[in-house]
Amino acid sequence: MADNNAPPENHDSSVDANVPSENENEASIDALARKVQESLSHAKKHKFWETQPVGQFKDLGDSSLPEGPIEQPTPLSEVKQEPFNLPTPYEWITCNMDSDEMCNEVYALLTNNYVEDDESMFRFNYSKEFLLWALRPPGYYRSWHIGVRVKSSKKLVAFITGVPAKIRVRDTVIVMAEVNFLCVHKKLRSKRLAPVMIKEVTRRVHLENIWQAAYTAGVVLPTPITTCQYWHRSLNPKKLIDVGFSRLGARMTMSRTIKLYKLPEQTVTPGFRKMEPHDVPAVTRLLRNYLKLFVVAPDFDEDDVEHWMLPKENVVDSYLVESPDTHEITDFCSFYTLPSSILGNQNHSTLKAAYSYYNVSTKTPWLQLMNDALIVAKKNGFDVFNALDVMHNETFLKELKFGPGDGKLHYYLYNYRLKNVLRPSELGLVLL
């Protein structure tokens, strides 16, 4: 189980926008895995991950291996009851996110030490409201919110979390942990804390009789079930260029660029409105029908939809289309708010980014639905709208002037093997 995110990468408008074909995509993941395996010296191979029940690079293409759990559950009485040992100066804590003081400590650790882009220009800045939303879904376990303190000073220096989720793989619904927010203080990166933190969250998940997990990372580990591409749509192109997130295209002026990305003032779809509490049953039905189309997807019930989809200011926005004639809910779009701190810029401190979440088109064409989503995001002050090429997103990305970023996001399952690498369009899962 591992960290759950990729860095906020720069959007390079000069990147070739050609999307690989399905076969190329599958081949490229296999080639990437082989390249990584070959390039690592024996001493540096994924020592930790080679001891874990995850797909191994050496097994790629071996069709004799069965799909499903890699290891069977052990009796709960045999799960290690005591936490793993930390280096002497440190101690485990369980983080009570209901406490303002604890929430502030976690926020400070992540804001100063979490994922950065390669050039150290941007760093994720999850708000406290976002963390409370992300970490307290229905049925969450407080024991899965794990911190590491310095014994002497009581300073919080590391963090990792899990939340329970029902995830369907083909026809099988499995209760898994979604593991996220693995963060170690910058000054302690050489202390090898991450593997012991992953083992500890795994132990605590096992104590609840849960044996599988889902996670994402910006790095290649053994072995991605798919690799997705981030795409970016400029909403405030001048600011994005000013802070170095994107570049002025060849033969483009600033005024032409602003004109290129200009959006209408108002949405165009009749019946397009914000989701409200009474919409939960209809949105649940819409999402469940749509997510059946994908190999790996969440199995949402009404409680999940109420938690994850109902709009929360500066956390998640959800809109739907209600037919003016029949009052049927026919379409849905949502995005979550994840700003990045802008490092070392005198004029701007925060990049306000919207991340595409779950979208369903049945009556409204994709381009129209998602253009309306862009319009409301722009009106709400977002600078950029980001989307992965998962689900049916590829149908609108190029047309709506998204450009490919230079970062990839790799999806992983722990203790569950898929026979084949998935195309991003076969994945129906977005992890925060």
Residues annotated as catalytic are 432
Cα distances (angstroms) measured from residue 199 to each of 51, 84, 91, 191, 335:
11, 8, 15, 15, 32
Nearest-angstrom CA–CA distance, 247 and 232: 13
CB 179 within 8 A of CB 1: yes
- Per-residue CA distances from 310 to 10, 305, 333 (Å): 30, 7, 11
What residue type is assigned to position 41 of the chain? Answer: S
Query: For residue 185, what is the enclosing H or E element?
Result: none
314, two tokens: 């500066």
197-218 in b/e form (b: 16+ CB < 10 A) is: bbbbbbbbbbebebbbbbbbbb
Contacts of 82 (CB under 8 A, 6+ apart): none
Listed in sequence order, the residues at least 6 apart from 80 whose beta carbon sits closer than 8 Å to its beta carbon are 203
55: Cβ contacts below 8 Å, ≥ 6 apart = 70, 222, 223, 225, 413, 417, 418
Cα separation, 174 vs 2, whole angstroms:
19
Encoded amino acid at 297, one letter: A
Asked if 427 and 250 touch (Cβ cutoff 8 Å), the reply is no
Q: What do you get for the CA distance between the two ends of the chain, in Å?
A: 15
Q: Which residue has 């072995």 as its token pair?
A: 223
- Angle in degrees, CA 34, 38, 44, rounded to 5: 120
DSSP 344: T
The sign of the CA dihedral 208, 209, 215, 220 is positive
CB atoms under 10 Å from CB of 46, counted, come to 18
Task: HSE, CB side, 13 Å, CA atoms: give it for residue 166.
Answer: 14
Taking alpha carbons only, the member of 295, 318, 321 closest to residue 307 is: 318
